[in-house]
Structure formats: C-alpha cells, structure tokens
Amino acid sequence: MQGFGVILVAMALASCRGRASGHDEASGRAPPREMVAGSSPTAGGAVGHRHAEIKGAIWRSHAGAAPVELVGGHGELDPVQRLWGASATDIYAAAWDDPGHGLLHSKGDGVWSHEPLNERRLFGVWGSSARDVYVANGGILHKRGDSHWEREEAHTFVRAFWGSGPHDVWAVGDGGTVMHSTGDGKWTVQSIGKDALVLAIWGSGPHDIYVAGEDQIYHSIGDGKWAPQILPSKYRVQIHDLWGSGPNDVYAVAAGLFHSTGNGDWTRLEIDGLETPDAVWGNGKELYVGTSHGVFVRRGDAWSPLPPGPEGVHALWGVGDDLYIGTEQFTEWTTPE
C-alpha cells in the first residue's frame, strides 16, 4: 500500500505542474488540491494517512532583503503561474485557484485580493498599461479601461502574452501556434513550423521577438516567419521562460540559464548552485533566476542566492526595489488515523 501511495503522490505532482511539463489538461478542470496517498508509519510508529498537495504563494523581496510572504501561507492559494504589473501600485498574479478566482491584484501595499473574474485556472497575464490587460485561461480575456473582461477568439490553448505596445500584442500556446493582434480584439495566426508546446514569449521590440517552443527557441523580425535557434543538444529540454534587457542581451531558462547576444547562438552560463530554473526576470541592474530551491541574483558579474525564502519559484516580476516572487510548492505530511 505504501508503494501505491508514492505512485499516487507522483501522479498528483505531474498533473499539477502543467507549465513545466506541458501535460496539463486543456479541459479547464482544476488541478487536484489534495490527495490521500495511502498509509505509512508516523514518527511514533503508529499508522497514519499520508497527504500531498500543491500550493502557491506570493512573496516580496525589498532591496535584496529576505523575501516576505504576502499571501498563500494559509493554503488559500494554488500555484502562481505569472506575475505582471503596470506600476508599483497595480500588480497582477495569475494562478490556479480552486475554489475561487485565479486572478489576484495588489496595489503594492502587500494586500492581494481576487479580481471579479470567474476563472480559476490561469496561465498568464500581461498588459501594455493599467487600462489594457490580457489574461490567458486557455483562451483570451481582455480588459480595456474600467470595462468588464471580454473574451476574444483564440485559435489555440493560450498560455502567455507579450507586446511592444497596445497595438502590437502577441500570444502563444499549444501546437506551435503564435497569434498577433493590433489590439482590436482580432487575432491572426502564425506557426513556428513545429507541433510544440510554446510556454514563453519575449521581445525587445516589434521586429525582434523570441518564443520558446519546447526545447527550441524561435526568432522573428515581425514578418510572420519564425527561425529556429537551437540550444546545445546536451541541454535540450522544455524551455520555461524568456527575458532580455535589449536586443543584444537575451536569456532563457531550461536545464540551466542560457544567454544570447542576439546573433542566434545560445551559451549556457555556469552558476554554482543554480539548479532546475523555472523563471527569469531583470531590471537592467540585477538579473534574477527563480529555481526549485530559491532565487539567484546577479549583480555585476557576481551571482549569489537571495537570503532564505521561498522554494519552488515559478514566476518573477519587479518594480523599483521590489521583487515579487510566485511559487508552486509540493508538500506532503502524515496525520494519525
């Protein structure tokens, strides 16, 4: 029975980590919050029930200090998928939240509240401003000004957004699909030429755009054509995130942190202690990488971990001296029968 319990725990973890593995269900069903995974001895030798669940939290690090948990410590939040803000007083988090609403908002005061959006499983959030925000729930939800969220036709299962402005917006998702909109609610479809799960997109401008299609990176100059840029074969696994400070300084996280000067070649950066990265973000001075064991930061040429804080880092975004951290953590425990 104990071995069967371990199998159930592994199945629960695999089903919930959709963004990392690409095996989530496009049906919109929420991931399991808790699973009783058989019986095992407790510390005192008695038989108990083993439990497992995947939860999330949002943290904030100010000026490089130890991160402080803002929401999620009481188990009320499921995995955080993306963070984005229009300013220090207008910040969004997209999460898998069940029950409840998956989109959270903060005014930068440490308080997070659920947006009145009846969608509990969200994959991405991005906007060109506070009055132009997009949310990915497999489909596309768009909010203009103070209006309600409106659905826009999606031609694939959408997972992430990026844009250079309100009239140049991009969305990516399943099947190697890339979509573009001028902000009018209509989307045209492009393809990277491969049936791949596309989890991330970033660009330095309308003529310099990158997407991550499973184990390859694709680049476009905005003409609808996507050219593959291949990571070193030794490290070709699912690419989770992209970010750059400009056209000559672009980063990707997969089996490590990779860098390109914009010439189509990618180099793996050797960083002591950095394992299983899942998110990358920077502000021009510091570069942050989120991993299963915490956050690493580069200042100048030196890398170091942030002071002890969250594990299972899944999303990063910052403004000013504040870095926001979204997590996805797997926990298990035993209770007496």
pLDDT tens profile 51-77: 777 888 999 999 888 999 888 876 777
Mean pLDDT calculated for residue range 3-27: 39
Output the pLDDT for position 99.
54
Residue 15 in this model has a pLDDT that exceeds 60: no
Tokens found for residue 165: 């402005």
Output the pLDDT for position 337.
67
Q: Which residues of 236-268 are buried (b: 16+ CB within 10 A; e: fewer)?
A: eebbbbbbbeeeebbbbbbbbbbebeeeeebeb
Output the pLDDT for position 2.
41
- Which is nearest to 175 in space by CA: 224, 211, 125, 202? 211
Please report the domains of the chain, with CATH numbers, ordered by start residue: 56-332 (2.130.10.10)
What's the CA gap between 145 and 143, in Å, rounded? 6
Percent of the chain with pLDDT over 90: 60
Question: DSSP secondary-structure letter at 233?
Answer: G
Residue 209 near residue 219, CB atoms below 8 Å: yes
Is the pTM higher than 0.75?
Answer: yes
Residue 37 near residue 51, CB atoms below 8 Å: yes
Output the pLDDT for position 198.
95
Mean pLDDT calculated for residue range 188-193: 96
pLDDT tens profile 278-309: 999 999 899 999 999 999 999 999 999 998 88
What's the CA gap between 166 and 283, in Å, rounded? 21
For residue 99, whether the previous peptide bond is cis, meaning omega lies within 30 degrees of 0, is yes
Residue 1 in this model has a pLDDT that exceeds 50: no
Output the pLDDT for position 38.
43
pLDDT tier at 47 (50, 70, 90 boundaries)?
low
For the chain, give the mean pLDDT: 84
User: 């915490």: which residue's tokens?
Assistant: 294
Residue 117 near residue 149, CB atoms below 8 Å: yes
pLDDT tens profile 152-162: 999 999 999 99
